[in-house]
Structure 1
Amino acid sequence: MSKRQERDLRYLAAIEEITQTLWKCKEKYNLQAEENHPLMHRLKIWEEKLTTERRLIEEISLPCRFILEHFTTFIGEVDHTVGFSLGQQLELGRGSINDFSIGEWGNICLVIGNVQLCWRDRDYQYLFYPDKVVLRSIEGTKPEIYLFFNFAFKYSKILTEFKDVLHDQQTLYCYPDLFSEP
């Protein structure tokens, strides 16, 4: 078992325990009855974040997880931005990564500035470059999504944990030296 897989098991156990505790507290203190209260809304947001963390480990492809883990290293930092475009003609903008979520069926939503960029993981293959990722539709019916960033993969210090991205079926291309040791 790899170091990443061992860590994943520990995190999944912790996420499950936190989720169970949250559910027990909601039941114990009858919080479901106050569904429209602002605090209840925040508790739902916590539940959604816990679900996203579980799905990040269990449900999405390794290439997609690698991208999201990389973005997490600079989430909320205004110095490190992500540009995004659909196809090569339509550049949509650039901004800080504020959040991401993983919905049912591997639907990824990346919040860049005030924009939500969403795609379904299993509908795309990934092309990796040092400071850019291209998401290419498997069926070719959707435009390519370009994500380019000023915080290159080599700076996030997770490359060694994700070397098997090279051999994943959803990795269409990987820059030759991307995963080589410095």
Structure 2
Amino acid sequence: MSALSRRRFLELTGSATAVALSASANAAMGPNDKFDLVIKGGDVLDPSQSLRGKRDIGIRWGTVEAIEAEIPAARASKTIDASGKLVMPGLVDLHCHVYPYGSAIGIPADELVQFQGTTTVVSAGDAGVNNLAALRRYIVAQSRARMYAFVHIANNGLSAFPVAELYNIDNAQ
């Protein structure tokens, strides 16, 4: 048997990588592994999958791992009965203020989203061109919520309440 050539090594490792990446996320869970939470019997509405119907949702490590017609209660560490309830994926809040240290009215996004059923927020002008990089680095990068931002017309964003950044027209450069 000859030594493994570089070409053959790349073929084998490339094939192994392709197989590993093409496996579904559910393959990581065995039939006896437990979900952290199972939401049972809710009327699931998910437009991204053209799905509307009674389903069970299995969640592990804060991520939806399975949406199935029936997940046995024995596979759940905790169960929530959602019978008669509408269950949807996280919604998008298109106007919020989530820059607590750069804006006078901002609150942390991770404190906001858990109470309103959203997973994605849009910062409505908390930052201007001068402090947008800080918003991205210190707020967006450290938040579990998905965040987008509108840039405020004033170069320093919502720096004071209610509209102090607009008293000086030079801020709108």
Q: Same fold (TM over 0.5)?
A: no
**Whose radius of gyration is greater, 1 or 2?**
2
Q: TM-score, normalised by structure 1?
A: 0.20
Q: TM-score, normalised by structure 2?
A: 0.21
Q: Which has the higher contact order (CA 8 A, sep 6+)?
A: 1
Higher fraction of helix: 1
